[in-house]
Amino acid sequence: MKKILDLITEELEQAFEEAGYEKELAKVTLSNRPDLCEYQCNGAMAGAKKYHKAPIMIAEEVVAKITGDGSIREAEAVKPGFINLKTNPDYIAGYLNEMAKDDKFGVEEEKNPKTILIDYGGPNVAKPLHVGHLRSAIIGESIKRITRFMGNRVTGDIHLGDWGYQMGLIITELRKRQPNLPYFDDAFTGEYPEEPPFTIGDLEEIYPAASAYAKEHEDYREEALEATFQLQNGKRGYRAIWNHIMNVSVADLKKNYANLNVEFDLWKGEADAQKYIPDMVQRLKDEGYAHLDEGALVVDVKEETDTKEIPPCMILKSDGAALYDTTDLATLVEREELYHPDEVIYVVDKRQELHFIQVFRCAKKTGIVREDTKLTFLGFGTMNGKDGKPFKTREGGVMRLEHLIKDITDKMYEKITDNRTVAEEEAEKTAKIVGMSAIKYGDLSNQAAKDYIFDVDRFTSFEGNTGPYILYTIVRIKSILNKYKENGNTLDDTRILGAGSESEKALMLEAAKFGSVMETAYQELAPHKICAYIYDLANAFNRFYHETKILAEEDKAKQKSYIGLLKLTRDILNTCIDLLGFEAPERM
């Protein structure tokens, strides 16, 4: 379906042409004076110069051509030359009825669907999942759902950090604690045990202990680096430990992400890319892209137009070790080979931007990706505490994700059981669902690149621009629809009629905007646009609800129309929160 704004624009274009002016002047926007009109056009002012005529005269001539039977009911020329527009209630109702017939509400999918790979989540195996990884998971999941909704072939890849120094640390600490394990016996040639020598609980304790110890003890650090090196060079016993770490951690990560409603299609990681490194490096050397710089192998990526210094991409350290740059380049080699993506979107902390500028430039320059492959960096800001500093626990440590979810869920549970009479097990389930909306909406309602303050009290409030408020609105609509059904009616034969009141019209106009909102949210990869929209839509609904007797309405056709509008509002809200990655409960 065409967007409502485009339909209004087309009608105004015709009026401009009929009045003898070029149609390019008919640019329609949402009104910035909603008290006066719904849409507006400033084209007469733009045309004044070209046609040597007072703008108000042009506006008046255009307005005279509007019949009032199309999408525009009323057009008014206002000095010095604005054209104020009010839509036709019957036309809007017809538009909404069309929207309601389609499960995507008339949104047109991408005409040339793309193969998109989204790199998000990015947790580091064996390190606890903390709030720093929360944003990537939440934003990435929403981007995945939005791009998929628009008809693209989208794959989400968690891109585990599973190849670094943390692995060497764990191996070193394990050897210190249990030196007699067969993994440390170089003479051992048998099969290693299937059972891991640690649990996830052990790992969670081992890593921080080893990491802290290494900071104080140089020889221990050297040992861990050496272990990392040997692991990366295929030492059998270490590979076996690595497998255990992976199995134990990935099972735990899967549980955590499932709790967050975040679903990855691929569970690949840095380790998977390693086998692509030797050939890649050889080619970069052979084709003259890479050169030695103080012993390190680098590719220059600076460009003439740079305003700040962009250092070369580091391919190999002087000791021959691969780096973060190397792994990300090799991952692109792998992705090109296996998936051939048209676009790769990285949802990563914005402090890593320089790294991605280097990697993208190097990948393009050296032909690792095709010329027309789009590489997108979606950098996000920091999640801060109320003190404006990166979010921490009360004790000052890094907040574990599980604890954060638990804190919010407990808070929600208190609220739900305080206010209402809900059965125990339902209250628990509901608290979890609503808590998730508080966390995700609290994050997504901000422009991703900005830092934001994680404010538990505000995010869990049932009022204001919050997830729980949106869910509360959906639950309210569901409850009205349920009562309507309990009164012996069906929901199947509704038909939306032209609005009879200001608040009803305002709600209808909000609902009609869905298509434009989706288009922008998709083009700009901006879930916050969806949040802003559903907040407006929920507000418009609540105003309508307070001013309208829906269940007591005696005119049956009118009541059916209200019910139709409620259903559509509920469905749009549900679709939007699904795109944001959360859901609504039955009651709350």
Tokens for 369?
């990706």
Say if residues 115 and 340 touch (Cβ distance below 8 Å): yes
* Burial class of residue 365 in the structure, from the number of CB atoms within 10 Å of its CB (0-12 exposed, 13-18 middle, 19+ buried): middle
**Closest alpha carbon to 169 in 216, 228, 218:** 228
CA proximity to 363, closest of 335, 391, 395: 335
HSE-CB for 303 with a 13 A CA cutoff: 10
Question: What CA–CA distance (Å, rounded) separates 58 from 66?
Answer: 13
Q: How far is the CB of 155 from ligand ARG (least distance, A)?
A: 14
Report the site for ligand ARG in 107-126 (rule: CB under 6 A): 119, 122, 124
Query: In this complex, which beta carbon is closest to ligand ARG, that of residue 268 or of residue 567?
Result: 268
What's the closest the beta carbon of residue 283 comes to ligand ARG, in angstroms? 21
Contact map string, positions 79 to 98, toward ligand ARG, x by CB under 6 A: --------------------
Of 50 and 275, which CB lies nearer to ligand ARG in the complex structure?
A: 275
CB 411 within 8 A of CB 435: yes
Residue with tokens 């909102």: 517
Do 359 and 313 form a contact (C-beta atoms < 8 A)? yes
Q: Is 39 in the site for ligand ARG (CB under 6 A)?
A: no
Secondary structure string (H, E, C) spanning 107-142: CCCCCCCCEEEEECCCCECCCCCEHHHHHHHHHHHH
User: Which of 11, 38, 173, 328 is the binder for ligand ARG (CB under 6 A)?
Assistant: 328
What residue number has its CB nearest to ligand ARG? 122
User: How many residues contact ligand ARG, by CB under 6 A?
Assistant: 8
Q: Between 122 and 168, name the residue whose CB sits nearer to ligand ARG.
A: 122
Closest distance of CB 253 from ligand ARG, Å? 12
> Could you say which of 140, 161, 527, 581 contacts ligand ARG (CB under 6 A)?
161
Closest CB to ligand ARG among residues 348, 565: 348
Torsion 437-438-443-445 (CA) sign: positive
What is the three-class DSSP state of 452?
Answer: strand
Q: Which C-beta is closer to ligand ARG: that of 168 or that of 564? A: 168
Question: Cβ closer to ligand ARG: 297 or 332?
Answer: 332
- Residue nearer to ligand ARG on the CB measure, 129 or 146: 129
Smallest gap from residue 326 Cβ to ligand ARG (A): 11
Nearest distance in Å: CB 317, ligand ARG: 18
CB closer to ligand ARG, 374 vs 429: 374
* Nearest CB to ligand ARG, comparing residues 198 and 360: 360
Helix, strand and coil percent figures for the chain, each rounded to 5: 55, 10, 35
In the complex, what is the shortest distance from the CB of residue 319 to ligand ARG, in angstroms, rounded to a whole number?
Answer: 22
When the beta carbons of 107 and 525 are compared against ligand ARG, the nearer one is 525
- What does the block give as tokens for 143? 């981007």
Amino acid identity for residue 419 in this structure = N
Q: How far apart are the first and last CA of the chain?
A: 35
Closest distance to ligand ARG from the beta carbon of 121 (Å): 8
Determine which helix (DSSP H) or strand (DSSP E) holds 251, and give its type and residue range: helix 236-259
DSSP reduced 3-state for 504: helix
For the bound state, the minimum distance from the C-beta of residue 429 to ligand ARG, rounded and expressed in Å, comes to 32
| Shorter beta-carbon distance to ligand ARG: residue 140 or 312 | 140
The residues near 443 (Cβ < 8 Å, ≥ 6 apart) are: 134, 135, 138, 139, 383, 452
Per-residue contact flags (x/-) with ligand ARG for residues 343 to 382, judged by CB under 6 A: ---x-x----------------------------------
Long-range Cβ pairs for the range 358-362 (8 Å, 24+): 358/301, 358/310, 358/311, 358/312, 358/313, 358/325, 359/313, 359/325, 359/328, 359/329, 359/332, 361/301, 361/303, 361/310, 361/313, 362/299, 362/301, 362/313, 362/325, 362/329
- In the complex, minimum distance from the CB of residue 225 to ligand ARG, in angstroms, rounded to a whole number: 19
Cβ 380 to ligand ARG, closest distance in Å? 11
Q: Which residue of 145, 159, 244, 411 would you call a contact of ligand ARG, by CB under 6 A? A: 159
Note the residues at the interface with ligand ARG (CB under 6 A). Answer: 119, 122, 124, 159, 161, 328, 346, 348
